[in-house]
Structure formats: C-alpha cells, structure tokens
C-alpha cells in the first residue's frame, strides 16, 4: 500500500491505495470518525484480486484538506469530491464502496451521477433523505440519533468528545464494537487523526452542514432512484441504525440488488468481520 495527496477539484485528498493502477478502480469511503485506515483489511484483498483499491481520507479528515467554513461540508461538495477523485484517478467511473457517512456519499453519487458508479456497495449506511424521514417518524430511530443534535453545538460537542483523552468518543465508537475489533494501537490511529488542528470540528461539520436542527422539522425530499448494481451489507447489531433504514434505503434501488445481513455484527462491520466483508465484496464484484 502507498499514500499520496491528490487534487480532486476544490480540495486535495490524502489517499491510500493498493493494486495495479491499470486494474478496475474501487473507491472506498469511510465514515465518522474515521479515516481511510478503516479499510486496511479490504485494500490488500482487493489488490490481490486485481483491482486498484483507493481509500481517501474524506474532506476534513486525516491528511486531507480541512476547509474552515461549515457549509464547505455540505453533501453536494462531499459528493463532488468523490466524483473528482474518480476523474483524478483517470477514470470516468468506479466501483464505489461506502460505510456510514461514506455510504451516504456513495448513495448520493449513485443516485445523482449513476454513470460514474460501476457498482455500489453499502455497509451500514442509509440514504440521506430516508434517514431524515425516519428520524421524524420513528421514535426508535430518533432515540438512536440523539448524538446528531449534540453535535450541532460548536465547542460543546468538541469538548464532550475529546475530554479525558477522548473518553466519550472511545466509548461512543470503539466500545460499541465486538471485543477485539479495535485493539489499543488501532484506537490510537483514529484518535490521533482527530487530535490534528481542526480535525474534530471538521468531522462534526458534516452533521452541522447537513443535519441542522431546523431540518428535523421539515419533510426531506424524495431520494433519487439508484439504478446501478448494488449490494448492501448490514450488521444487525448496530447501536445507531435501526434495520428499517436498510429496508427503506433498499427500496430506492431500481437496479440489481443484493442484501447481506450479518446477525450480531455491529456498526463497524468491515473492521469487525473483515474476512466476511472481503468474501462478500469480492464475490459481488466478480459477479458483475
């Protein structure tokens, strides 16, 4: 694996890549509060299968550029970064894999620019408008989404997450996974990335730009249909996402659809059961 920074349009993203650059591109998008390192198990497996696997640190994260303005993290700009990355790699389309926020961006790219997506693989991530609607309608999902309102408070959210050497963040993220998923050295990789100047605020700006409190009071727009071949991998022991999000997000797919439910697996699916995720991902990509 190697790393570099690449100009994708408005910003430069740090990427980790593996495999032959002439291979079919697979772009893997991480979620909150991670970096491209969250795909450390998938990159070599994809490379060994002949793909060119690329995992960026998304805008604001890790070694990527960190704009200061909240509105710099609005979804159209974030989706634009992914489109820009695919083009900067020398392609007009790629296989796109996304988890959590990265999955939301992957849904957005496939729904709005489907010609850029050869296939879509989603790991525990809902379609944005589906999530917004369910937060309004479903008490169970609203309770699971409590942190999204906390994250709206500048300074307060940062202090809560980072106090006592990021104790609350460690509990909120790492302790919701199966034991052994995040050994101490891996926890430190992610925490250290958030200690960089402005990194924690940039990560929280994803929520502030796209889920402001007023948005909880209005109906979201209908999501666009997703016509590309899609696989959804869903850990059913997710502490933050109700399985209804899977069902309603799947309903937006008009192309070929495959759903893989993983009982007892947490939100952090590709890190908790990497061998199973790799098996499913390679089987899906090989079937196209």
Given the residues 73, 81, 207, 238, select the one marked as catalytic: 207
Given the residues 52, 95, 99, 267, select the one marked as catalytic: 267
Residue 71 annotated in active site: no
Give 217: exposed, middle or buried? Use CB within 10 Å, 0-12, 13-18, 19+: exposed
Which tokens is 257 given? 């659809």
Residue 106: name the closest of 87, 79, 77 by CA.
79
Given the residues 100, 206, 238, 242, select the one marked as catalytic: 100
Residue 267 annotated in active site: yes
Contacts with 279 (C-beta within 8 Å, 6 or more apart), sequence order: none
Strands 230-235 and 257-262: parallel
Q: How many CB atoms lie within 10 A of CB 285?
A: 21
Supply φ then ψ for residue 237, to 5 degrees: -100, 30
Residue 81 annotated in active site: no
List beta partners, residue 230: 120, 257
Active site residues: 100, 207, 267
């Amino acid at each position: 694996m190697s790393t570099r920074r690449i100009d994708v349009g408005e910003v430069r993203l740090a990427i980790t890549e593996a495999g032959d650059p002439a291979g079919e591109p697979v772009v893997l998008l991480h979620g909150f509060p991670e970096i491209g390192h969250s795909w450390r198990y998938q990159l070599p497996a994809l490379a060994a299968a002949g793909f060119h696997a690329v995992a960026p640190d998304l805008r604001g994260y890790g070694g990527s550029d960190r704009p200061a303005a909240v509105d710099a993290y609005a979804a159209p700009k974030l989706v634009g970064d992914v489109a820009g990355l695919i083009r900067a790699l020398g392609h007009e389309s790629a296989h796109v894999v996304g988890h959590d926020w990265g999955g939301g961006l992957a849904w957005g790219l496939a729904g709005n620019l489907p010609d850029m997506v050869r296939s879509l693989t989603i790991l525990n991530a809902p379609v944005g408008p589906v999530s917004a609607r369910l937060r309004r309608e479903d008490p169970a999902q609203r309770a699971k989404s409590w942190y999204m309102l906390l994250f709206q408070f500048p300074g307060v959210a940062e202090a809560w997450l980072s106090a006592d050497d990021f104790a609350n963040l460690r509990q909120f993220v790492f302790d919701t996974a199966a034991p052994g998923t995040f050994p101490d050295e891996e926890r430190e990789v992610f925490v250290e990335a958030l200690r960089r100047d402005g990194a924690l605020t940039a990560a929280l700006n994803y929520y502030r730009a796209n889920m402001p409190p007023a948005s909880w009071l209005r109906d979201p727009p209908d999501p666009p249909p997703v016509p590309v071949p899609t696989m959804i991998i869903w850990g059913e022991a997710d502490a933050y996402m109700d399985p209804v999000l899977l069902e309603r997000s799947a309903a937006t797919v008009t192309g070929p659809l495959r759903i893989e439910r993983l009982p007892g697996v947490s939100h952090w699916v590709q890190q908790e059961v990497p061998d199973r995720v790799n098996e499913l991902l390679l089987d899906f990509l090989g079937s196209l």
